Amino acid sequence: MEYVFTADEARSLERPVVTAAPEFAVMRRAAFGLAGVVAAELRTRCGAVAGRAVGLLVGSGDNGGDALFAGAMLRRRGVAVTAVLLAPDRTHRGGLAAFAASGGRVVPRLGAVDLVVDGIVGLSGRGALRPAAAEHVRAVTAPIVSVDLPSGVDVDTGAVDGPAVSAAVTVTFGVRKPVHLLAAPRCGRVVVVDIGLPDATTELACADDAEVGAVWPVPGPHDDKYSQGVVGVLAGSEKYPGAGVLCTGAAVAATAGMVRYVGTGGAEVLHHYPEVVTARSVDEAGRVQAWVVGPGFGTDDDAAERLAGILATDLPVLVDADGLTVLAARPELLDGRGAPTLLTPHAGEFARLTGSDPGPDRVAAVRALAADRGVTVLLKGRATLVAHPDGRVMVDEAGSSWSSTAGSGDVLAGMAGALLAAGLSPLVAATAAARAHSLAAILAAGGSSRSAPAPISASVLLSAVRDAVGTLRARAGEAGMAESPR
């Protein structure tokens, strides 16, 4: 588990470390890591370090000091380093002295360079780049390495409301911050440099592939189809038969012991997945251990009645798509429900549930909905957020946007529902399903098997779910984390 710290939390961790160390010692440690990353980028992009040129855009905060100390270290490795001081009267004195002593040059504008270091704004910065800084950034044609965060991007929300840096690499210190997940495309590759911060936890975190692989249910020697988890899928309609096929197929692929499908599309589901047990009504379905309700199943009074019946049970329930639209109109259906409940909205469905879109602070918005309704909420996006009612939020940064295609959410719902039926908590089931779904999208688009990924549809994504789960399990094994079969 990697914990993700807000700017205030990160500063609280740093403060005693900086206070206990000699002046500039921690900053020099950070700068050494930054200089190493810049040197590695030069070697990769240019084939050498010595003889190359690096430009620094230096603001008034500690990030500017980090950039200047790193520039001094790069000078000692034979790099020509120039710096633009965007706040000359407030430039970090220690960093500027070291930079000048190394032979670094202060210039009014950057010339032709191989890389640019963005040290404009630090953790305290808010809002878009100021006009002068934005003008310098617009003139940059070389790749940018940002210090801590791309300047102009909000550190805690990832929001951008004006000119901002887009980095090829972001080098941060001690701990990852929300911006690195919530605005990952702006950050590029993120490198965390160790500066000696103490171990700590917080309410925002992300799980890696090995951790997800380790919790993914696998059958043990005494398991049967019932003990592995029986999931009921109430999805699809005459208008949207594909939703039932995709959701049911995903539950099958996610290793459910048995899948029971309820709806009008049973013949179509059986055509694709003959192992599924179908029924026309919930009463005919038989015993299940969790329900997935909503993808393509309608929003009329009949749909509302069926959803109400499912929510009245004491079984775990995942509500998606049309089911969320019904809930938005009849929020009282959740009143008094004590069994595990997982809502999986996209931004539009979130707005219907709450009366407003998530806004720039998606973490705060999803956390508030989960606490208000006493349920777990998975808010879909490039960075998918899973919020528990107690305030914990898990983040899955997908690594791509290939899953942004019609029917992709039906697949995710089926996967998460299968994990609920297997006994995982809504928080763990949603987090694991989101990570496997993201990986399946990458594998379906080509992964490393093509020189360039190709567009996909939801059915192609579904076909890669088994490979994604297998990859996650393999990574758990490589990390020595794979659990024994249950």
Angle at 392 between CA 202 and CA 182, to 5 degrees: 80
The pLDDT of residue 124: 84
Q: For the beta carbon of residue 90, count every other beta carbon within 10 angstroms.
A: 12
Spatial contact of 465 and 414, defined as CB atoms under 8 Å apart: no
Residue pair 132/157 in contact by the 8 Å Cβ criterion: no
Nearest of 265, 289, 286 to residue 339 by alpha carbon? 289
| pLDDT in 10s for each residue of the chain, 486 residues | 999 999 999 999 999 999 999 999 999 999 999 999 999 999 999 999 999 999 999 999 899 999 999 999 999 999 999 999 999 999 999 999 999 999 999 999 999 999 999 999 988 888 899 999 999 999 999 999 999 999 999 999 999 999 999 999 999 999 999 999 999 999 999 999 999 999 999 999 999 999 999 999 999 899 889 889 999 999 999 899 999 999 999 999 998 999 999 999 999 999 999 999 999 999 999 999 999 999 999 999 999 999 999 999 999 999 999 999 999 999 999 999 999 999 999 999 999 999 999 999 999 999 999 999 999 999 999 999 999 999 999 999 999 999 999 999 999 999 999 999 999 999 999 999 999 999 999 999 986 555 578 889 999 999 999 999 999 999 999 988 866 555
Contact between 365 and 156 under an 8 Å Cβ cutoff? The reply is no
**Distances in whole angstroms, Cα of residue 311 to Cα of each of 12, 80, 347, 367, 386:** 43, 66, 23, 22, 20
* Dist. CA 187–CA 167, nearest whole Å: 5
Q: Kindly tell me the burial class for residue 223, based on how many C-beta atoms sit within 10 Å of its own C-beta (0-12, 13-18, 19 or more).
A: middle
Annotated binding-site residues for K(+) read: 63, 118, 151
Amino acid at 236: G
Burial-class residue 329 by CB neighbours within 10 Å (0-12, 13-18, 19+).
Answer: exposed
Rounded CA separation 464/237 (Å): 25
Please report where in the chains the tokens 């219907």 appear, as a residue: 352
| Distance of alpha carbon 81 from the chain centroid | 35
- Binding residue numbers for (6S)-NADPHX: 62-66, 122-128, 148, 243, 296, 346, 410
Calpha distance 24→54 (Å, rounded): 23
DSSP structural state of residue 89: G
Question: Which residues are bridge partners to 396 per DSSP?
Answer: 384
The annotated binding site is made up of 62-66, 118, 122-128, 148, 151, 243, 296, 346, 380-384, 409-410
| Helix, strand, coil percentages, rounded to 5, for the chain | 40, 15, 40
Domains, in order of start, for the chain: 2-202 (3.40.50.10260), 209-478 (3.40.1190.20)
C-alpha span between 27 and 436 (Å, rounded): 38
**What DSSP letter does each residue of 135-188 carry, written as one string?**
HHHHT--S-EEEESS-TTS-TTT----S-----SEEEEESSB-THHHHTHHHH-
pLDDT of residue 482: 67
Tell me what pLDDT residue 451 has.
59
Looking at 254-361, list the stretches that DSSP marks H as alpha helix, in order from N- to C-terminal side.
266-272, 282-285, 301-311, 322-329, 347-354
pTM: 0.95
Distance CA 412, CA 343 (A): 12
Task: Please state the residue numbers annotated as binding site for AMP.
Answer: 380-384, 409
Rounded Cα gap, residues 215 and 453, in angstroms? 29
Q: Report the pLDDT value the prediction gives residue 453, as an integer from 0 to 100.
A: 81
Please give the DSSP secondary-structure letter assigned to residue 115: E
pLDDT at 452: 73
Spatial distance between the Cα atoms of 37 and 170, rounded to a whole number of angstroms: 9
Residue with tokens 């496997």: 436
Distance in angstroms (rounded) separating the CA atoms of residues 482 and 477 = 5
